[in-house]
């Protein structure tokens, strides 16, 4: 009789960046600006407010999955976008359509990384920080 040992392991692959994407910075803050009809990240390079660089967002940055704060693409009568606060279940399982919502909006402070994607520098959005000196926690109503 042969003794055959069989082991089955399940490995969940981590979501990894593209093979041609390399991180080019530490976690940094940026401000979302609207340029040429799309949103981009404005990064202060020198720390004293005189040298800035604008980066386009990576493809992953636009994902709505898991984002508890999203913004409408259409503006209201005052020319502002609306912020929608969602619970974790809706954020994960009902992320919404990219044609209707974005994970960030103009004038918001965000954090993320500068990455090189196919030799082009872009901004990898991670999370919202706040707007004009206000943090997300200070702006979210207690529920």
Strands (DSSP E) found in 57-133? 69-72, 83-85, 101-102, 108-117, 120-131
Angle (CA) 133 135 136, round 5°: 140
Q: Among 88, 121, 82, 141, which residue's Cα sits nearest to residue 112?
A: 121
Tens-digit pLDDT profile for residues 66-105: 999 999 988 888 888 899 999 999 889 988 888 999 999 9
**SS3 assignment, position 20:** coil
Which H or E run contains 93? helix 88-93
Q: What is the DSSP letter of 35?
A: E
What does the pLDDT read at residue 51? 83
Domains within the chain, CATH numbers bracketed: 18-63+105-133 (2.40.50), 65-102 (no CATH)
Show the tokens assigned to 21. Answer: 């994407």
- CA 20 – CA 118 distance, rounded (Å): 5
pTM to 2 decimal places: 0.73
Residues 120, 68, 110, 136: what is their CA dihedral angle, to the nearest 10 degrees? 180
Q: pLDDT tens digit string along 23-74?
A: 777 889 999 999 888 999 999 887 777 788 999 999 999 999 999 999 998 8
| Residue 139 DSSP one-character state | H
Q: How far apart are CA 17 and CA 60, in angstroms?
A: 9
Distance CA 7, CA 2 (A): 16
The phi and psi torsions of 94 (rounded to 5 degrees) equal -135, 70
């Amino acid at each position: 009789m042969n003794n055959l040992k069989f082991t089955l392991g399940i490995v969940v692959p981590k979501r990894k960046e593209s093979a041609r994407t390399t991180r080019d910075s530490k976690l940094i803050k940026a401000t979302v600006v609207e340029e040429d009809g799309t949103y981009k990240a404005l990064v202060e390079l020198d720390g004293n407010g005189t040298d800035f660089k604008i980066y386009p967002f990576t493809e992953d940055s636009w994902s709505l999955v898991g984002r508890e704060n999203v913004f409408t693409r259409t503006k209201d009568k005052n020319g502002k976008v609306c912020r929608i606060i969602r619970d974790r279940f809706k954020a994960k399982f009902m992320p919404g359509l990219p044609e209707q919502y974005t994970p960030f909006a103009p004038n918001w402070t965000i954090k993320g990384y500068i990455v090189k994607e196919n030799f082009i520098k872009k901004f990898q959005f991670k999370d919202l920080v706040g707007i004009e000196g206000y943090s997300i926690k200070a702006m979210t109503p207690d529920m």
